[in-house]
Chains A and B, each alone.
Chain A
Amino acid sequence: MALNRISSDGHPLMFVQGNEACVQGALHAGCRFFAGYPITPSTEIAEGMARELPKLGGTFIQMEDEIASIAAIIGASAAGARSMTATSGPGISLMLENIGFAYMIQMPIVVVNVQRGGPSTGLPTKLSQSDTMQARWGTHGDFTSIALAASTVQEVYDMTIRAFEVAEHFSTPVFLLLDELIGHMREKVVLNKHDNQAVVKHAFPEIPPEWYLPYTESLDLVSHPAPFGKGYRYNMTGLVHDRAGFPTSIPAEITERLETLRNKILKHKREIWQLREYYTEDAKYVIIAYGSAARAARGAVESLRLKKTKAGLIDLKSIWPFPDEPIKEILDRCNIKSVIVAENNMGQLIHPVREMLGGSVKIASVNRYDGHPLEPQEIINVVKEEIYA
């Protein structure tokens, strides 16, 4: 007899790693092109895509390195395929140059970073959240990035689909920030039973090819360059370009291009922001965390609440752009005494938190960077210090 792998309401069930849930999410979102270079702790994503994509008529390529991998998925996206790569910190470092190119030419791609310890080759098999800032500021130049996160295996599935939606909607690269613990942890996942592709591809241009300008932004400021190979001919360059895609040095056009790249995201950031709150209604001590640190924080909050300490948690599902407004709204309505930022790094998420609060609320931090996950007790200790401070 086989285990019954169908939920009571007819959805397929799996007991899989976060990395395997990422594969399922990507396939469901209609990802049909993956290029990558295996690296612990992200390898299971490449393995899964290599196994599943050919069955769906998609393409998997193991490239010679990460530079080629990111170039391949940008090219595939330019030809109209929904595409993704997965790697870890060392791989992202190699990809950053071309990720900047994708921001510039406005190409939707999903880049999964299953974080491990760094710098350099660091700690291959151990967890870390030390690429949090890399996802914001990694490549050079003025740009605005989008990064999403997950703290359960089910959320990895859901947020992978979400990453494709956001990438497609804003026509830009989207990071999915996981970590070794979430990537390798197994939990039950309920898959969507509908096998249609969840993310709708942007409509093809209606004007004739000879009149086509790829970078004429609509009211929402987002350009959706037409896929190559269908008769729409235009220039794609990393140089600051005009509406036709050709390099420009006219100040007004430069300003327009750079502001558009920023504003297309910042003016619609409410559509990207996502977070989960626990016990924040009356909280005096609010922990801000994401990914595996948020799991430890949830454990800490549950224990503290048993002892009648008014602790709460904000578990971020979108990291960049930083969800400052919704966090402030939560903090404004509770009786806040301190904010505690819990991270598996030497302190990265704490910077936007400081910028957001500007000294109005006391901020404490819990950091662990020895390759092991933060434990609930470490967070409880810091909350207790805040109580007696």
Chain B
Amino acid sequence: MSHQDKREKKNRKKKTPIEEHLGRYDIRISGAGGQGIISTGMLLGEAISIGDGKNVSQSQSYGPEARGGATRADIIVSDGDIYFPECQEIDLLVAFTPEAYEKYSTAMKPDGIIVADKNAVNIMVGQAKVVTVPFIEIATKKFKRPIVANIIALGFISTFLGIVSQKSIKDAVEDRFASSSHLELNMKAIEEGFKLGREYKKKFS
């Protein structure tokens, strides 16, 4: 066994949630139109696909209205071919509104996990494990921009769950805002998300 093979074997030992699920890992990001749900799905999909080199299909569902209305983005991750590109049983649900949480929390896998904004969970629904995080509150109070709540959430799921590498998600966000005046804001938001994810991971393990 060459040195490189050994190193690869060592790296392989630590399995990400996606690898543990073998087949496919179904992620649904959900909320209201205008919250940046589809952009969030796109960034996560791009980071896992181009950055982490896994197979990803990202689809979405939205109504004819531009704002309001229920919106969701589905990201299916797999080491093999992805056939059906929408979530069947959800491994990870990210919910930004009570409607989204209540609608999809019953479609979870038994060992699935829900990461919800604090305002989204009024009453507990379904059996899945729920972690509530004040994404919108932090975005509003610390960054004065509620819209960066989804970028904080992306950073959070990276360090809390390890479903996307920190480098890939950071690069994807940087590429997205490279020529925008909001680059610095979004880079700070993703770092905030990384930090939060690490804190919660300590708290829950």
Contacts and interface: CB of A to CB of B under 8 A. Distances in A.
A382 B170 CA distance: 45
A202 interface: no
Contacts of B61: 125
A187 B49 contact: yes
B45 A186 contact: yes
A296 B84 contact: yes
A121 B205 CA distance: 53
Given A3-B168, A125-B63, A125-B64, A188 B84 contact: no
B132 interface: no
Contacts of B175: 2-3
A324 interface: no
Of the listed residues A3, A5, A187, the one surrounded by the most CB atoms of chain B closer than 10 A to its CB is A3
A299 interface: yes
Nearest to A152: B57
Interface residues of B, number: 32
Interface string A1-12: 111110000000
B171 A1 contact: yes
A373 B84 contact: yes
Contacts of A186: 42, 45-46, 56-59
A95 B137 CA distance: 50
Q: Main SS of chain B's interface residues?
A: mixed
A295 B63 CA distance: 23
A65 B61 CA distance: 27
B50 A5 contact: yes
A34 to B, nearest CB: 24
A181 B85 CA distance: 9
B47 interface: yes
B57 A185 contact: yes
A370 to B, nearest CB: 13
A95 to B, nearest CB: 23
Q: Main SS of chain A's interface residues?
A: mixed
A375 B83 CA distance: 10
Contacts of A299: 83-84
Nearest to B65: A125
A373 B60 CA distance: 12
Contacts of B45: 15, 186
Given A15-B45, A185-B59, A186-B42, A375 B50 contact: no
B84 A376 contact: yes
Contacts of A185: 57-59, 85
A1 B58 CA distance: 24
B51 interface: yes
B50 A3 contact: yes
Contacts of A5: 50
B85 A4 contact: no
A295 B84 contact: yes
Of the listed residues B58, B88, B167, B175, the one surrounded by the most CB atoms of chain A closer than 10 A to its CB is B58
B21 to A, nearest CB: 16
B4 to A, nearest CB: 16
B22 interface: no
Contact of A375 (B55, B84, B167, B174): B84
B51 A3 contact: yes
Nearest to B178: A2
A17 to B, nearest CB: 9
Contact of B83 (A13, A181, A188, A298): A298
Interface string B29-64: 000000000000010011101110001111111111
Interface string A298-328: 1100100000000000000000000000000
A187 B50 contact: no
Contacts of A181: 59, 85
Nearest to A296: B84
Nearest to A15: B46
Interface of A: 1-5, 13-15, 40, 124-125, 181, 184-188, 292, 295-296, 298-299, 302, 373, 375-376
19 contacts: A1-B170, A1-B174, A15-B46, A125-B63, A184-B59, A186-B45, A186-B56, A186-B57, A187-B49, A187-B55, A187-B58, A187-B82, A188-B50, A188-B56, A295-B83, A299-B83, A373-B86, A376-B84, A376-B88
Given A2-B171, A124-B64, A295-B85, 14 more contacts: A2-B175, A2-B178, A3-B51, A3-B168, A15-B49, A125-B61, A125-B62, A184-B60, A185-B85, A187-B49, A296-B84, A298-B81, A299-B84, A373-B85
